[in-house]
Structures are given as C-alpha cells and as structure tokens.
C-alpha cells in the first residue's frame, strides 16, 4: 500500500493557521527557520513512504513472536529501526544536552503522524520511548538523567510504560506489584500486562517505567511510586548484568500484529533491580507526564491511520470503474463520480484534516507552555493543552474508527479481504479508542477534571479565543463558515453550563453526558480549525491568485459545515438527557 506524506498540509498549517515563526522567535528555537523545518518534514515524509510503508503489510503478516531467546519482531523492522536511529529521527524534539536536535515539539508531532500513517506497529516503539524521555527529563535525578537519557534520546535504548495488571484493568488503585527497599535501590516483584514493546530484539536494553507500591504504602493510587527497571543493569564495577525481567507471553491481537504486546514478569527469581523515579508515593502524578504525552500521540495515531485509509480509498475510487454517471449518463465511470462515494471520501478527508489541525495545535500550545517568555502565556497555553488532551485522544481515535470503516466500504468486497490492506488499517485502528484510557475515560476526564475542577475557566478562555477569531477581518470572506460556528459555540457553552450546574448533585448525569459532550467538543473545535484554514486559504488566494490546494481547503471546510458540524446538534441533545434514561433500568434487564 502506497503512502504519500501530506507535507503541503503541514506546511500550510505552520505558515497560515498557527504560524511556527512565533516559536522561532523564542530563545530555544532561534536557530531554526521555515527552510530547515521544511527540509526535515520532506525528509521525514520520504523515510515514511520509502522505508516504513513498504514493510507495514509484510510486518502484519509475519507478526511478532516469542521464542526461547525472547521476543522477535519482523526482520524488516530491524533494518528500518537501525536506519531510523542512524538518521536521528528518534530525538528530533529532544533536549540537545542529551543528543537531541531541539526542534519544536510540534515538528516532532508532524513527523510522528507520518510514522503512524506509514506503519503503526513500528511507530509504537519510538512513541513509548518519547514518553519515557519526557518523564525522565522532568522527574529523574541528575545521576539518572546522565545514565539513561542520552541512550533513550538517540534510540540506542527504548522505553516502555508499565501500568496495569491482570486484576486492575483501568483501576490502577488495585495494583499489587511490590517494591521492597534494598540499600540504595529496590527489588520489584509482580506482573504487568499489555506492555507495548515490553520486550523485543531491536535494541539490547529496554528501560521500563513501572508503577509499584512499597510495603508501607497507603492503599489505592495514593500509594503508588514510579520506578526505573532496566532490562540490563549497567554498573562500572560489574559491567552489564541481566535484570530479573522477562516477557512471559505476548498477546495474539486483532491488529498491530508486528508490535509485541507483552505480559511482563518482574522478580520471577531474585527480584528485579529498580530505582525510585521521583517522589515516594507520587507515582501517578509522575506517570501522568508520560500518559498525557501518550494520549496526545495516540490521537495522532488516529489521524495518521485515517490519512492512510483516505489515500487508499481515494486512489481506489479514482481507478475503480463501475456504474453510470447519474447526471451525464456516461457509462462505465470511475466510482469517484458517484455522489455517495464522494460523500464518503469527503467525510474521510474533512475528519482527517480537522483532527490533524486539532492535534498539531495541541502540540503547538505545548511548545508555548514550555517556552513562552511570559508566565501568564505559559500558564494559559498549559491550561488549554490540559483541556484539549482528552478531546484529542477521544475524538481523533473515534474518528479513526469511522474513517477506516469507510475505507473498507469504498473498496466494497475488495476492502473486506486482506489483499488491499485497508482491512489491516481497520484492525489496527480498533485499539486506539482503548489503550491509554478508553474514550469513556477521556470523556469523564474532560468533564470531571478539566471542566468541573476549574469551573470551566479553561473552556471560557478558549471560547473567547474562538469568538475573537470568528470576528476577525480574515473571516469576512468566509462568513458563511463563521455563522454556524458561532451558533454551535453558544450551544457548547450551554452544555458546559448545564454540566457545571448538575455535577455536584447528579454524578450519573456527568457520566451519562460525558461521551456526547466530548464528541460535541471535538466536532465543534474541528470545524473551527477547518474554518480558520479556509479563511487563511481565501486570504492567500486574494494575494496570489487561485490555487487548487487553497480551493480544496475552502471546499473541505464547506463540506464539514454542511455534513459534519450538524452532528454537534445531536451530541448536545444527548448530553442533556436525564441520567435516569441511562440508569433507571435494572441491571438484570439490560
């Protein structure tokens, strides 16, 4: 299956929608400019299309497997990973002090979307490593940073996130893995499940970040501490020694067959050597650094796999000859001429571009949250990223379910067989709404933590920004896009106000409304960002003349407003349904 990175889309967003020059004006990024980042994107797109995409389907067929020597990934992945590391892709946005290139995080995010598009199973490995890098950079002591960060940044080592256990699921307060103090370290005993790339043969060492509890820890999540557990322990006196860590099995999954999902055993013999990372009993706080990064990145996985599905469906529709043109009467036309096929293709394109803008905007704000010159600007950016994180993760991954399903529909019977590759995309995408917190968990996080906890302040700030932008001069040319958005922003405000009123006296209402509210947020914000792109495209056209790429931006936004934004009306109504509608029926009758 072919893949062509949407470089022009990235460049347009970075030039016209949320200008990256604003980041280049900040001290950490003053060495960079558009020309350099354009070159990085183009080379990254080439790597994705020429190296990663060709091994996606063969990797799916071969899969990962467990042998006597450990977990083995597809042979083609090993060469690709060596090239990935040699070309410096693993540390594009990492700190230069540890061998990274120090580019803005949003550039790394654009590259990450390409990796996910081209080969989701492969790209999961560096995605988890990046999360480990972020967590160590913020929580590790100087000695730990010195020993671990550089090799993770270069990709010589990889990292994992070890959260749940067989009895725990999403309730991490039930974690039983025990860390017993021994001198300057701990010995860990326990079992972790669903550990992506928990073991593999791409690199020798793997750095596991794992939650466990000490013997005197309080019950529940308050008693969890985060630990560094290396596959191999390196010490100057003794050299490298194998830690008491091993993959007990790997899961046989619906999709992402080439990505090993491991059941990990810690301390099966003497106890696994572990170092405390950050404060005692502050594990959940520290793990959320990695988890929130992962949630944004999983949202990008949704965008990436949707882009690949769209490209496959569009190319098929342009070449599949079938049926008659209902207007001209021409016989034997490509199916892209049929209105319902076009509806599906435009739905795929509009949802993909809306969520691309949403995810990249979140990473752009993350750069501002870390590096903006004023404290107030950093604080405002961080608050907006916190609000957007569950929306990005939930909405973009739900979107991927729809888009990959439509790809199969457009292919017809050919999509239902493995030969075309779109069935794999559908299978691979199905995990995205589950790991790193299900859509329901994201929705409850949005309402319970991000809206109720601050009484909607972050949303109020974002709402004001949206309304200001719709009143800006640039939108005068596309007022037909601005007006429906104003109405839907007002509708969203009404739902938020109702959530805030009901939260304290009807918790079931919060739970029952959460999914619909999250989808309403995603639908409205996606429409707003597409409208911003259309307004920018209209402005550039007025300056430079008509261009097909810019015309497409306007038409995609118009399609979204007509066909997809009205979904927000239904979500708003669903968010207001009384909790009894959901909860009144006895469990035995469901």
The pLDDT-based confidence of 272 (bands split at 50, 70, 90) is very high
Q: What is residue 235's predicted lDDT score, i.e. its pLDDT?
A: 58
Domain ranges of the chain: 7-154, 158-281, 440-582
Q: How far apart are CA 133 and CA 366, in angstroms?
A: 16
Is residue 115 within 8 Å of residue 304, measured between CB atoms? yes
**Please, is 39 exposed, middle or buried when counting C-beta atoms within 10 Å of its C-beta (0-12, 13-18, 19+)?**
exposed
Report residue 285 as tokens. Answer: 């706080």
Residue 436 annotated among the catalytic residues of the structure: yes
Instruction: Give the 3-state DSSP-derived string for 306-346, with helices as H, strands as E and coil as C.
Output: HHHHHHHHHHHHHHCECCECCCCCCECCEHHHCHHHHHHHH
Q: Which segments of 372-457 are extended strands (E)? A: none
The model carries a pTM of 0.96
Report residue 146 as tokens. Answer: 């010195």
Tens-place pLDDT, residues 20-77: 999 999 999 999 999 999 999 999 999 999 999 999 999 999 999 999 889 999 999 9
Pairing state between β 245-250 and 261-266: antiparallel
From 436, 474, 498, 558, active-site residue: 436
CA-only gyration radius of the chain, Å: 24
Pairing state between β 70-72 and 206-213: unpaired
Q: What are phi and psi of 177, to 5 degrees?
A: -55, 130
Q: How far apart are CA 454 and CA 456, in angstroms?
A: 5
Give yes or no for residue 542 having a pLDDT over 70: yes
Tens-place pLDDT, residues 93-144: 999 999 999 999 999 999 999 999 999 999 999 999 999 999 999 999 999 9
**Which letter does DSSP use for residue 374 in this model?**
S
In this prediction, residues 453-480 reach a mean pLDDT of 94
The superfamily in CATH containing domain 158-281 is: Butyryl-CoA Dehydrogenase, subunit A, domain 2 (2.40.110.10)
Tens-place pLDDT, residues 571-587: 999 999 998 899 989 99
Tens-place pLDDT, residues 201-245: 999 999 999 999 999 999 999 999 999 999 999 755 456 799 999
In this prediction, residues 521-543 reach a mean pLDDT of 97
In this prediction, residues 330-343 reach a mean pLDDT of 95
Tens-place pLDDT, residues 563-573: 999 999 999 99
Q: What is residue 484's predicted lDDT score, i.e. its pLDDT?
A: 96
Q: Name the architecture of domain 7-154.
A: Orthogonal Bundle (1.10)
Q: How far apart are CA 255 and CA 357, in angstroms?
A: 27
Q: What is the DSSP string of 170-220?
A: T-GGG---EEEEETTEEEEEEEEEEEETSS-SSSS-EEEEEEEE-TTPPSG
Q: What is residue 327's predicted lDDT score, i.e. its pLDDT?
A: 83
Cβ neighbours around 271 below 10 Å, total: 18
Report residue 79 as tokens. Answer: 């060469």
Calculate the average pLDDT of the chain: 95
The pLDDT-based confidence of 507 (bands split at 50, 70, 90) is confident
Q: Do domains 7-154 and 158-281 have the same CATH topology?
A: no
Give yes or no for residue 467 having a pLDDT over 80: yes
- Give the Å distances, CA to CA, from 425 to 176, 193, 405: 36, 24, 9
**Please, is 19 exposed, middle or buried when counting C-beta atoms within 10 Å of its C-beta (0-12, 13-18, 19+)?**
middle
């Amino acid at each position: 299956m072919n893949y062509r990175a949407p470089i022009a889309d990235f460049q347009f967003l970075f030039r016209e929608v949320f200008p990256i020059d604003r980041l280049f004006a900040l001290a950490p990024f003053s060495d960079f400019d558009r020309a350099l980042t354009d070159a990085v994107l183009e080379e990254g797109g080439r790597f994705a299309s020429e190296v990663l995409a060709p091994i996606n389907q063969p990797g799916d067929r071969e899969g990962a497997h467990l042998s006597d020597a450990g977990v083995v990934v597809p042979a083609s992945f090993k060469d690709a990973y060596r090239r990935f590391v040699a070309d410096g892709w693993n540390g594009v946005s990492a700190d230069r002090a540890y061998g990274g290139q120090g580019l803005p995080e949003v550039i790394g995010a654009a590259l990450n979307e390409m990796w996910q598009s081209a080969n989701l199973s492969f790209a999961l490995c560096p995605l988890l490593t990046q999360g480990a890098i972020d967590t160590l950079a913020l929580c590790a002591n100087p000695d730990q940073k010195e020993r671990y960060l550089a090799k993770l940044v270069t990709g010589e080592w990889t990292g994992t996130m070890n959260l749940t256990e067989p009895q725990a699921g999403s309730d991490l307060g039930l974690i039983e893995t025990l860390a017993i103090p021994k001198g300057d370290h701990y010995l860990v005993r326990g079992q972790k499940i669903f550990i992506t790339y928990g073991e593999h043969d791409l690199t020798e060492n793997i750095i596991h970040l794992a939650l466990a509890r000490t013997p005197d820890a309080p019950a529940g999540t308050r008693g969890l501490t985060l630990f560094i557990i290396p596959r191999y322990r390196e010490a100057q006196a003794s050299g490298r020694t194998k830690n008491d860590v091993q993959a007990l099995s790997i899961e046989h999954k619906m999709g992402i067959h080439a990505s090993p999902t491991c059941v990990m055993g810690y301390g099966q013999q003497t106890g696994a050597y572990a170092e405390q990372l950050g404060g005692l009993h502050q594990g959940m706080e520290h793990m959320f650094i990695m988890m929130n990064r992962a949630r944004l990145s999983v949202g990008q996985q949704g965008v990436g796999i949707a882009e690949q599905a769209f490209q496959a469906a569009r190319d098929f529709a342009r070449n599949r000859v079938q049926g008659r043109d209902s207007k001209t009467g021409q016989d034997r036309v490509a199916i892209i001429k049929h209105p319902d096929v076009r509806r599906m293709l435009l739905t795929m394109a509009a949802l993909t571009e809306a969520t691309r803008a949403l995810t990249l905007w979140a990473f752009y704000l993350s750069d501002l949250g870390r590096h903006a010159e004023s404290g107030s600007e950093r604080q405002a950016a961080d608050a907006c990223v916190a609000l957007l994180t569950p929306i990005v993760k939930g909405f973009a991954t739900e979107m991927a379910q729809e888009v990959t399903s439509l790809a199969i529909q457009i292919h017809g019977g050919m999509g239902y067989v493995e030969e075309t590759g779109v069935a794999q995309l559908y299978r691979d995408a199905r995990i995205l709404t589950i790991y790193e917190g299900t859509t329901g968990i994201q929705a409850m996080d949005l309402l319970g933590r991000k809206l109720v906890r601050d009484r909607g302040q972050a949303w109020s700030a974002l709402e004001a920004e949206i309304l200001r932008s719709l009143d800006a001069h640039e939108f005068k040319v596309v007022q037909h896009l601005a007006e429906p958005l104003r109405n839907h922003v007002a509708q969203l405000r009404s739902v938020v106000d109702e959530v805030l009123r009901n939260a304290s006296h009807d918790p079931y209402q919060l739970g029952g409304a959460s999914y619909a509210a999250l989808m309403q947020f995603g639908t409205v914000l996606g429409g707003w960002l597409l409208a911003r792109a259309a307004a920018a495209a209209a402005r550039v056209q007025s300056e430079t003349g008509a261009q097909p790429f810019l015309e497409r931006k306007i038409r995609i936004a118009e399609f979204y407003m007509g066909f997809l934004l009205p979904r927000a009306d239904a979500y708003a109504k669903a968010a207001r349904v009384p909790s009894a509608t959901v909860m009144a029926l006895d469990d035995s009758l469901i």
